[in-house]
Amino acid sequence: MKKSIKYAGVAAATLLAVAPVAAPVLTNTVTTVQADETSDTTASVKSAANNYLGNLKTNQTVDKLPALTGLIGTTTSFSDFKAVGGGPYTANTSNQDNNDATLVANNANVTLENVTYTIDGKEYTASNDDENTEILKLGTPSKVSFTVAISSYTPTDADAIDITTNSATTTYTLKDTATTENTSADVKASDSYDVAYGSSTLSPQLLASMPTSVTDKDGKAVSAVTPSADTNYYASKNAAISALNGSTTVTPAGVDEGIADDGTFSKENTTYYQVVTLTATADSDFAKLLTAYNADTADKYAVTFNGTALKTAVANNDVSTATAGTIKYVRAVNVGSKADTNWTTTDETGVVTTKNDKTYYTLKNDDNDTISNRALAANTSWQYDKVRTNAKGDKQYRVSTHEWVPAESVTVNDGNNNGGSETPEGALTVKNLDTKKVVNLATPGMTYFVYNKDGVMSTTRALAGGSSWLVDKTATDAAGNTYYGVSTDEFVKAGEGVSLAD
């Protein structure tokens, strides 16, 4: 049969490229007056000034930005300049005191040539105090850079000597005070899993693919966790809990308990127990929260696991957090009946459309194991060529050679329909936009199908998740569904994961 799994990126519409806005580049030119190279004093001052400028602290993160009002464009003595604002201009070098002494002894002066502020992501440069005052009215800066040049008078020469060929720029960045520490998390993880009699104990979904989530008290995702599972199965929950807490005396289930030598579940209607580990992403918010939570004695932090306070679950030995950044728990693995594995398969053709109450719908393989790396996106249509049912009444449609979608995940449109395409609501009513907009497709790896103006879904072209597209028209079908035009005769249907930018 022809595979009806759709394609993930054969798109002709123009991909929107959003280029970053370049910040203005400040170019500062310092006019150099040739110094008297025969003067040892002048040479010494020149060296000291260059050392100072070349060793200024740069790119510092501070709690408070230096005050730079009343200075721009004016000249002040070197020692007075350093003292302004608590001395933020101190150079970063071990012999700086000697440099400073030379400059002070030779009446070195400093000119603050300009100041550049970053306010709400934009840069503003002031070259005098009036400009500086007006810029600071725009908001609180998050960063400030200032450019200085040094000149001096020698004790024996009343003429000014410019002793630097380059000015120096120093940048201070304000610490992000908006960032707040997260003190709570709600962890949810599957504590039960159903498998078919005779299926493999090494099936991928038993080891890694299981629904998990970590959210804060407001329901916002905190960070990802990676689930993994022990390959041992235990005949009782108590045995699994003992293994969870480090016991080496418990024996995993073997042939007598229904784990066959060929690595399959050979005892029907049986429940086994398995240790599962959730590992927080390194240096993530949740990893840091777990560390703080485990060390907390004042109950500043709150973490729940499947609705129970994590510390309570640990105290009851149901959960272990002994290894930093991990949560270990026990889940049940339920083996179905032998009769349920006896499928009756018939040849039947038609089109199924996935529902839209989930982001995606999982597939089963020929052994009725969940396929861990493929799924069908919500509200998409697929050709099927076979239907199977078992004694339990489960029903599945074959949408690929070894892939079946459960009946509860789809609605059915019997009969072949144009090679897998369908026109659920008829032709589209198209309206051109006065101004082009952008439609964003979420979730890289997902597939978003396109329809023509007749409402027919393409079987050869689709848009990849994680991409953005220019939209010059919109459309609606008879049911009121909205579509966005991404090329001459290709429309993506509005829905979960599809958002139109203002």
Which CATH number covers residue 398?
2.30.30
Are the beta carbons of 457 and 468 closer than 8 angstroms? no
Distance, CA of 25 to CA of 69 (rounded, Å):
23
Same-domain pairing of 326 and 287: yes
Distance, CA of 260 to CA of 350 (rounded, Å):
39
Are the beta carbons of 328 and 275 closer than 8 angstroms? yes
Same-domain pairing of 201 and 107: no
User: Where does a domain end: 292, 317, 335?
Assistant: 335
Residue 85: predicted pLDDT:
40
Same-domain pairing of 16 and 139: no
Asked whether residue 306 is assigned to any structural domain, the reply reads yes
260, two tokens: 């066959």
Distance, CA of 401 to CA of 393 (rounded, Å):
22
Residue 49: predicted pLDDT:
76
DSSP 20: P
DSSP 14: P
Terminal CA-CA length for the chain: 44
Question: Smallest Cα–Cα separation from 340: which of 467, 202, 198?
Answer: 198
Alpha-helical (H) ranges within 38-183 are 40-54, 78-83, 96-105, 129-136
Asked whether residue 30 is assigned to any structural domain, the reply reads no
Same-domain pairing of 220 and 325: yes
Q: pTM, whole model, 2 decimals?
A: 0.43
Asked whether residue 33 is assigned to any structural domain, the reply reads no
Are the beta carbons of 391 and 343 closer than 8 angstroms? no
Same-domain pairing of 365 and 493: no
Same-domain pairing of 275 and 328: yes
Written as tens digits, the pLDDT of the chain (502 aa) is 333 333 333 333 333 323 222 222 222 333 333 334 435 566 777 777 777 776 665 666 766 676 666 667 777 777 776 655 434 455 444 555 666 777 777 777 777 778 888 888 888 888 888 888 888 888 878 888 877 777 766 555 555 555 554 566 777 776 654 445 678 899 998 888 888 888 888 875 666 556 788 887 777 777 778 888 888 999 999 999 999 999 989 999 998 999 988 889 999 999 999 999 999 988 888 888 898 888 887 788 899 999 999 999 999 999 999 898 999 999 999 998 888 788 889 998 888 888 887 777 888 888 887 776 677 888 888 889 999 998 778 899 999 888 999 999 998 875 433 333 334 456 888 999 888 899 988 876 667 788 888 888 776 677 877 888 999 999 988 878 899 999 988 999 888 778 888 6
Question: Smallest Cα–Cα separation from 152: which of 94, 99, 95, 188?
Answer: 99
Asked whether residue 31 is assigned to any structural domain, the reply reads no
Asked whether residue 131 is assigned to any structural domain, the reply reads yes
Distance, CA of 136 to CA of 24 (rounded, Å):
18
Residue 425: predicted pLDDT:
52
3-state secondary structure of 311: helix
Strand order of the sheet with strand 184-189?
212-215, 184-189, 302-305, 308-309
Same-domain pairing of 169 and 45: yes
Same-domain pairing of 348 and 321: no
Same-domain pairing of 189 and 327: yes
Asked whether residue 32 is assigned to any structural domain, the reply reads no
98, two tokens: 């000697």
Sort residue 360 into left (φ over 0), alpha (ψ -120 to 50) or beta: beta
Same-domain pairing of 315 and 433: no
Distance, CA of 125 to CA of 116 (rounded, Å):
4
Asked whether residue 261 is assigned to any structural domain, the reply reads yes
Domain span at residue 410 reads: 342-414
To the nearest 10°, report the CA torsion of 236, 240, 243, 248: 20
Q: Which helix (H) or strand (E) holds 357?
A: none
Same-domain pairing of 369 and 292: no
Are the beta carbons of 233 and 333 closer than 8 angstroms? yes
Are the beta carbons of 68 and 146 closer than 8 angstroms? yes
Q: Strands 302-305, 344-354: parallel, antiparallel or unpaired by DSSP?
A: unpaired
255, two tokens: 């042939």
User: Where does a domain end: 414, 433, 454?
Assistant: 414
467, two tokens: 């991409």
Are the beta carbons of 387 and 396 closer than 8 angstroms? yes
3-state secondary structure of 339: helix
User: Where does a domain end: 156, 174, 192?
Assistant: 174
Asked whether residue 408 is assigned to any structural domain, the reply reads yes
To the nearest 10°, report the CA torsion of 232, 233, 237, 241: 0
Distance, CA of 356 to CA of 338 (rounded, Å):
33
Same-domain pairing of 21 and 71: no
Between the CA of residue 238 and those of 182, 189, 207, 304, 370, what are the distances in Å? 34, 19, 21, 22, 28
3-state secondary structure of 427: coil
Helices 96-105 & 40-54 angle (0-180, nearest 10): 130
Q: In the chain, how many domains are there?
A: 4
Residue 327: predicted pLDDT:
94
